[in-house]
Amino acid sequence: MADLFTTIDERGSIRAYTEEALTEEEIKVLVEAGLKAPTARNEQELHFSVIDTKNPIIKELQNDLNPNAATTFYYNAPLFISISGQDAFGWSAVDAGIAVENIHLAAKGLGLGSVIIGCVKGVLTGEKKAYYDEKMGVPADYSYQIAIAVGHPNTTKEPHVFNAEKDVTYIA
């Protein structure tokens, strides 16, 4: 398992996967990485829907998003984890973002690949919200915040270029 800084340096969003399924142990590590993430006031108000992408709900979601897309929204990764948060709690979006990054880094640490998935938000929070919530086991008064697709990478991704001069201010 790579050390933390190597994992941070080398992670990237992976958009092609082999057909190899994840093991139960790998899925457990990924889910627990999400559960171990910090939440505001230690509220732990997130819910994790851990979905085998062979489940018909994924095909339905693809159809509602775009039945003619060149690639699927989950890039044919074997696992899709959708994170929802409690509507009444003002930090759910931030907490879900932290949890999804924990899963993204844990996947890299396991030698897997992943990509955070925001493009499903419109469908999962739109007119079919109640339907998808029921199918995905989302608790009442919770809403989708973010998701992640995970699998065995079938491609590599160079780290993105960043501009510290533009994006950082140091104050002495």
Question: Which of 93, 74, 81, 80 minimizes the C-alpha distance to 145?
Answer: 93
CA–CA dist 74, 77 (Å, integer): 6
The SS3 call for residue 16 is coil
CA–CA dist 150, 77 (Å, integer): 6
Q: Pattern of binders to ligand FMN over 15-44, x per CB under 6 A?
A: x-----------------------------
The SS3 call for residue 91 is coil
Residues 148-167 interacting with ligand FMN (rule: CB under 6 A) = 157, 160
Residue 12 binds ligand FMN (CB under 6 A): yes
Output 54 or 160, the one with its CB closest to ligand FMN: 160
CA distances from 94 to 17, 39, 73, 91, 146 (A): 28, 8, 22, 5, 10
C-alpha dihedral, 15 to 18 to 19 to 22, nearest 10°: -90
Q: Near ligand FMN by CB under 6 A, which window of 8-16, 36-44, 55-63, 84-92?
A: 8-16
Amino acid, single-letter form, for residue 36? K
Output 11 or 47, the one with its CB closest to ligand FMN: 11
Output 107 or 115, the one with its CB closest to ligand FMN: 115
End-to-end Cα, the chain, rounded Å: 37
Of the candidate residues 38, 90, 118, 126, the single one contacting ligand FMN (CB under 6 A)? 118
Q: Near ligand FMN by CB under 6 A, which window of 29-37, 78-86, 111-119, 164-172?
A: 111-119
Of the candidate residues 119, 126, 130, 139, the single one contacting ligand FMN (CB under 6 A)? 119
Residue 115 binds ligand FMN (CB under 6 A): yes
Applying CB under 6 A, the residues found at the interface with ligand FMN are 12-13, 15, 115-119, 146, 157, 160
